[in-house]
Structure 1
Amino acid sequence: MNAVDPSLEASLIADWRTYPIVADLVDVKPREQALDTLWRDGRISLFHHQWLRDNCACNQCVYGVTREQLFEIVDVPEELHPQRTRIDEQGHLLIDWQDGHRSRYHPGWLRAHAYDEASRAERRAQRPQSRLWGAELGEQLPQFDYQAVMEQDDALLHWLLAVRDIGLTQLRDVPTREDVLPRLAKRISFIRESNFGVLFDVQSKADADSNAYTAFNLPLHTDLPTRELQPGLQFLHCLVNEATGGESVFVDGFAIAEALHQETPELFHLLCETPVEFRNKSRNSDYRCLAPIIALDAHGAVSEIRMGNFLRGPFDAPAERMPAFYSAYRRFIGMTREPRFRVQRRLEAGQLWCFDNRRTLHARTEFDPASGARHFKGCYVDRDELLSRIHVLQR
Structure 2
Amino acid sequence: METTLERPTIADWRTYPQTAALTSLRPQADRLDLVWDDGRVSPFHHQWLRDNCPCGECVYAVTREQVLEIIDVPADLAPERAAIELGYLCVHWSDGHRSQFDPGWLRAHAYDDDSRAERLAAHQTTRVWRRDFEVPVFQHDQLMEDDSALLEWMLALRDLGLSRVDGVPTAPGSLHRIAQRIAFIRETNFGVLFDVKSKAAAADSNAYTAFNLPLHTDLPTRELQPGLQFLHCLVNNADGGDSVFVDGFAIAQALRDEAPEDFRTLCEMPIEFRNKDRRSDYRCLAPVIALDARGEISEIRIANFLRGPFDAPAERMEALYHAWRAFLSLTRDPRFRLQQKLRAGQMWCFDNRRTLHARTAFDPASGERHLQGCYIDRDELLSRILVLQRGR
Structure 1 position 123 matched with structure 2 position 119:
yes
**Structure 2: which amino acid aligns with 1:48?**
H
TM-score normalized by the length of structure 2: 0.97
**Counterpart position of 1:63:** 60
**Counterpart position of 2:170:** 176
Out of 153, 156, 161, the residue aligned to residue 167 of structure 1 is 161
**Structure 1: which amino acid aligns with 2:228?**
L
Out of 248, 252, 260, the residue aligned to residue 247 of structure 2 is 252
Task: Compute the displacement of 1:179 (Å).
Answer: 2.7
What fraction of aligned residue pairs are identical, expressed as a percent?
Answer: 67
In the TM superposition, 1:313-392 aligns within 5 A as: 313-392=308-387
**Structure 2: which amino acid aligns with 1:263?**
E
Separation in 1, partners of 2:8, 2:219 = 43
| Preserved contact between residue 10 and residue 59 of structure 1 (Cα < 8 Å) | no
Out of 110, 132, 140, the residue aligned to residue 128 of structure 2 is 132
| Preserved contact between residue 10 and residue 58 of structure 1 (Cα < 8 Å) | no
**Counterpart position of 2:98:** 102
**Counterpart position of 2:77:** 80
| Preserved contact between residue 11 and residue 59 of structure 1 (Cα < 8 Å) | no
Separation in 1, partners of 2:4, 2:153 = 43
| Preserved contact between residue 233 and residue 356 of structure 1 (Cα < 8 Å) | yes
Separation in 1, partners of 2:334, 2:143 = 32
Separation in 2, partners of 1:3, 1:197 = 61
Q: SS at the partner of 2:365? A: helix
Separation in 1, partners of 2:31, 2:157 = 42
- Equivalenced residue count is 388
Q: Residues 255-297 of structure 1, C-alpha deviation per residue, up to 9 Å, x if partnerless?
A: 0001111111111111001111111111111101111000000
Task: Compute the displacement of 1:24 (Å).
Answer: 1.2
**Counterpart position of 1:267:** 262
**Counterpart position of 1:190:** 184
Q: Residues 347-389 of structure 1, C-alpha deviation per residue, up to 9 Å, x if partnerless?
A: 0101000000000000001111111111100000000011111
In the TM superposition, 1:218-229 aligns within 5 A as: 218-229=213-224
**Structure 1: which amino acid aligns with 2:152?**
H
Task: Compute the displacement of 1:3 (Å).
Answer: 6.5
Task: Compute the displacement of 1:128 (Å).
Answer: 3.8
| Preserved contact between residue 201 and residue 378 of structure 1 (Cα < 8 Å) | yes
Q: SS at the partner of 2:177? A: helix
**Structure 1: which amino acid aligns with 2:139?**
D
**Counterpart position of 1:200:** 194
Separation in 1, partners of 2:295, 2:36 = 31
Q: SS at the partner of 1:80? A: coil
Structure 1 residue runs of 5 or longer lacking an equivalent are none
Separation in 2, partners of 1:342, 1:238 = 21
Separation in 2, partners of 1:173, 1:85 = 59
Tell me the C-alpha RMSD between the 2 structures. 1.1
Structure 2 residue runs of 5 or longer lacking an equivalent are none
Separation in 2, partners of 1:125, 1:133 = 19
**Counterpart position of 2:297:** 302
**Counterpart position of 1:149:** 143
Separation in 1, partners of 2:338, 2:358 = 10
